[in-house]
Amino acid sequence: MASAPESRGTAVRSGRPAGAASSLQTLRLLESGPRGLTEAQAEERLVKHGENTVPGSHPVPWGLRLARAVGEPFTAVLLCLGLVSAVIASWGTACVIAVLVVVSAVLRAAGERRAERSVAALCAVLPQTATVRRRPAEGAAPVHRELPVDQLVPGDVVRLGAGDLVPADVRLLRASGLTVHQAVLSGESAPVPKHAVDTGCERPVGNGEFTGPGAPDSADPVPGAKGTADTGPGIGGATGPGAGDATEFSAPHLCFQGSSVASGSATAVVVATGAHTRFADAWATPPGRRRGTFDRSVRSVAWLLIRCMLLIPPVALLADAAVRGRGLETLPFAVTVAVGLTPEMLPVVVTAALARAAGGLARRRAVLVRRLHALGDLGAAGVLCTDKTGTLTQDRPVLECSLAPDGTPDARVAQWAALSAFWTLHLAELPVPDPLDEALLDATVEPDGPAGSGDGGGADLGGLWDWEGVAALPFDPVRRLSCAVLRPPHADGTPGPAAAPHAPEAAEAAAGGPGEYTAYGPGEYTVVVKGAAEEVLERCALDDERRAELHRRAALLAEDGLRLLAVGCARRRSRLGPYVPGDERGLTFLGFVGLRDALAPTAARALAGLARQGVAVKVLTGDHPGTAARVCRDLGLLDADGTPAADAPSQDAGATGTVRPGAPPGVVTGAVVDTLDDDRLAEVAARSTVFARCTPAQKARVVRALRTRSTTGFLGDGVNDLAALHAADIGLCPRTAAPVAREAADVVLGAKELTAIEDAVAAGRRCGGAIASYLRIVLSSNLGNVLAMLVAGVLLPFLPMLPAQVLVQNLCFDAAQLALAFDRPGTVEGRRRPAVLRPRALLGFVTGFGLLNAAADVATFAVLALAVRHGTGTDSAAAFHSGWFTENLLTQAMVMLLLRTGGSAAYARRPARPLLLAVAGLAAVGLLLPLSPLGAPLGMTPLPWVYYPMLALVLCVYGAALALARAAGERRAAGARPGRYGKGRKSDG
């Protein structure tokens, strides 16, 4: 038994059977027929070709997840320090470090695994089936069966109807009024007309329904010819922004897996399944993602600390040898000093803060963070790229204007168009309204009526609903028209649209439309036609000059981002036979109906929120430039002259102008992107807001260009977005996205709306603030302690602190610092700074405040000397150890409050309860441990009472110095920060 060819050459890619071949040739090449495959043939092909499923990524084993977490540079350094501690017999320190590494790795791996399971569960929510025509055996009659889509094989004949998902790559054998949503593949917002090219236009019979082929076979349509997807008509024949340029998805006789049927019906043959489809081909070799900003910043801080830690032991050894003449016997002390500089809780705090924020987003907004560090990248984001459809708009049109032929508002044009839509739908054999018809019908029953109608609306149609539909010619992609034949409610004397005279001059006089009423004679009906402007105008009785003028007006309206329908009418005599497309000639032109994409209700508020957070929104779409510009103007992303809105963040506040030939102001087209080199594209992308008619490769180029200046996120949901998702620092997609898009995304949103991203950015900023607080506090304290320890080690005849005391102090520090992961960093209204850790800024901060901490420690040494001198029977070494231990914990408690993000008056916000409890506990341990029975085993002793007043004075001076230094630093940062987010911005680090 022969089977279908298995190479890609038999499928869409080569274009042989699905392209240049006719339907019959395609069936022969696939060794199938109009009656479908037999069950035996289908089973054989299923074994040969495999199931019709898209290959997905395999679950990452736990071992590999843990290895990745441990392989982070800072975690690896901690492991090395733990090994060194074990070598020098510092078992307590080694155990603490080992526990911290394990806890951090498990938290990170568990959080990412939980998110991955949730994403995988989305794929199994809705099992899909397809209607397939198969034969039980050779010679048997074919039957239609509902089969799971994974059982389809090349050569299967399938039926498609409105609302169906296209289950595989198919070649149309027959179609009636078929339009397909393929935004998931091409980014085109409007449904794309499709038809079987070798059957031509089916002819209407009876009351206007279509049956059977009605034209001879033809070769593939020439791009740009009428009826092809290259002409630019949208659904319902709308002219203007509506269809894509000629691409691999524009072939009118091919439908691709991942798209869905918007209207009409079709019979098609499967030409490619599973891994051979265009849908799967986009995921075949996904590019590796580069590390995000958060990963890079944490790594840069880690390497800075590594260099400092490698520098400290030799400095300590040389200083001790020069002053005390000691040699390698001080190596354990030098290693202890290096360990003291290490913020060993960093991996745990980072992971805990991110996991806590990710869990909160999952509970509140159903946002799944698949890669924990992506939340940190969102906190650092300065640019968000998004498509238009479904994010800024609702993917449905609404009536914008109803215009008479002279351009003045006239609601009656929309009313007649709605009446035609109603009866076309009512008389159709399978009533499936397209979105334009739904928008017209919705507008005629709303009390406010169509925008720009000027008369208060279309609720009262002046008795038009009393008209009765007689016949209808539904919309089809070749004619790009629909037609309804209407009978007036009375045989005589009923007012209606003016009859279209035979003379063009008389038609011009009657071009005012339904405002000029004449009586209907017995048996007279009215034909109302609506559709693409160029098609309707061709059928109207107009002279060339008037027709050209109306074409120009239609072009201007289309450039303004409207989908345009033209409406015409004619009077016809009743008949016994069917109405045919020839009755759509000699029309009186009634006017234009303009529709626009309905804006998402939360889009404007979310865009304002993102702007307040310093996130510049860029729109990357495959849609028409006029449509994209219109939406962005309506939402305030663009001013009327096409420049970015004054309050919108920009990467280059000083730049003006852009490159926009052939597009509305403020819009850069994909054709322009191809003409720019990478450096020039980075400049243009930084100051532009809208990129239209972009291919997937062009979207990815724009994203890479934006990444050179700022951390960039990309929100997409289709196969055509995969390249850009991989190119961005953060890939985002909604739950309803294509499975391959969900696999590529770092963050999966509960709904495709920007408010969820606004919340996620805010959560990322809070995480960034908490991590920055931890680093500032820990490194400043550790650096001060290290400097003080080096001074004490050189000047004192005994160790400044015993190993057991160092271990207890570090444990207290670590337990208290973990509370920083649960803090609520404060913000300032209008504060527009992404949370980016920058090593240089952090180093300057830590150096300054570390020296203050060291000064407080040295002052404490002097206080201890005075206290011990006035004490009686006090062991000087034990007293020194106890006094410094107490001072260290108290100063640590102070800096946790004063150096946290939001700890100053300018960023005032009450610390979170866990942080307050941690600070109180840390201070209590510092004051009470030397006095408790546990103090003696640790080498501590009660301190003389005179020490405490002097220590309080030192702490007061230290606290005042911290507050003054922080206020001065914030004033300096505020003076250096530009008014708009751009170059020279300061980080939260």
Residue with tokens 């238009």: 388
Give the mean model confidence (pLDDT) for residues 121-143. Answer: 76
pLDDT of 647 reads 54
pLDDT surpasses 60 at 822 = yes
The pLDDT of residue 224 is 31
> Would you state the structure tokens that stand for residue 536, as one six-digit string?
């309707």
Q: What pLDDT, in 10s, does the model give residues 150-182?
A: 899 999 999 998 778 888 999 999 888 788 887
Instruction: Write down the catalytic residue from 156, 164, 230, 387.
Output: 387
Q: Is 552 exposed, middle or buried (0-12, 13-18, 19+ CB in 10 A)?
A: exposed
Distance between CA atoms of 451 and 456, rounded to whole angstroms?
9
Read off the pLDDT band of 768 (50, 70, 90).
confident
Say what the pLDDT of residue 158 is: 94
Confidence of residue 573 (pLDDT cuts 50, 70, 90): confident
| pLDDT at residue 433 in the model | 64
Mean model confidence pLDDT for the chain: 75
Write the Ramachandran bin of 599: left for phi over 0, alpha for psi from -120 to 50, otherwise beta.
Answer: beta
Q: What is the pLDDT of residues 937-974, one digit of tens each?
A: 888 888 888 888 888 998 999 889 888 888 887 777 66
Q: Any residues with CB less than 8 A from the CB of 969 and at least 6 apart, and which?
A: 845, 848
Question: What is the rounded distance in angstroms from the CA atom of residue 50 to the CA atom of residue 735?
Answer: 27
| Residue 38 near residue 136, CB atoms below 8 Å | yes
> Are residues 630 and 392 in contact, defined by beta-carbon separation less than 8 angstroms?
no
Complete domains list, the chain, with CATH: 8-55+126-281 (2.70.150.10), 379-393+601-758 (3.40.50.1000), 398-598 (3.40.1110.10)
Mean per-residue pLDDT for 760-785?
83
8 A C-beta contact, residue 277 and residue 256: yes
Q: Number of helices and strands (H, E) in the chain?
A: 29, 24
* Integer Cα distance of 511 and 498 in angstroms: 9
pLDDT score, position 3: 43
Q: Return the minimum-mean-pLDDT range out of 65-69, 523-527, 685-689, 749-753.
A: 65-69
Range with the largest mean pLDDT of 59-68, 292-301, 562-571:
562-571
| DSSP letters spanning 523-559 | TEEEEEEEE-HHHHHHTB---HHHHHHHHHHHHHHHH
**320 a catalytic residue:** no
pLDDT one-digit tens code per residue, 837-892? 677 777 888 888 888 888 888 888 888 877 777 655 556 788 888 888 898 899 88
| pLDDT at position 115 | 58
Contact assessment for residue 623 and residue 189, using Cβ atoms and an 8 Å cutoff: yes
Cβ–Cβ < 8 Å for 81, 342: yes
User: What does the DSSP 8-state code read for residue 188?
Assistant: -
- At 529 the pLDDT is 93
Higher per-residue pLDDT: 139 or 528: 528
pLDDT average, residue stretch 580-602: 87
Give strand pairing partners of 368.
748
- Spatial CA neighbour of 526 closest among 579, 485, 467: 485
Residue with tokens 């920058």: 838
Please give the DSSP secondary-structure letter assigned to residue 17. Answer: I
Percentage with pLDDT > 90 across the chain: 13
Short-list 482, 552, 32, CA closest to 236 = 482
Assign 248 a pLDDT band (cuts: 50, 70, 90): low
Contacts of residue 935, Cβ cutoff 8 Å, sequence gap at least 6? 882, 929, 941, 942
Report percent pLDDT > 70 for the chain: 71
Cα atoms in the 13 Å half-sphere on the side-chain side of 785: 29
Task: Decide if 697 contacts 719 (C-beta within 8 A).
Answer: no
How far apart CA 755 and CA 762 sit, in angstroms, is 11
Highest mean pLDDT among 3-7, 687-691, 858-862: 687-691
Residue 144 bridge partners (DSSP): 133
Residues with Cβ < 8 Å from 893, sequence gap 6 or more? 816, 919, 920, 922, 923, 926
Higher per-residue confidence, 238 vs 34: 34
Asked whether 241 and 626 are in contact (CB, 8 A), the reply is yes
Q: Mean of the pLDDT values across residues 358-366?
A: 83
Per-residue pLDDT band at 267 (split at 50, 70, 90) = very high
Whether the CB-CB separation of 485 and 579 falls below 8 Å is answered with yes
Q: Which of 134, 149, 154, 151 is nearest to 10 (CA)?
A: 154
Only one residue has tokens 């004949």, namely: 157
Q: Which residues have a Cβ under 8 Å from the Cβ of 249 and sit 6 or more positions away?
A: 182, 185, 186, 188, 192, 256, 278
pLDDT category of residue 453 using cuts at 50, 70 and 90: very low
Q: Sorting pLDDT into bands at 50, 70 and 90, what band is 56? A: low
Q: How confident is the model at residue 297 (pLDDT cuts 50, 70, 90)?
A: confident
When comparing pLDDT for 44 and 981, which is higher?
A: 44
Confidence class for position 404, pLDDT limits 50, 70, 90: very high
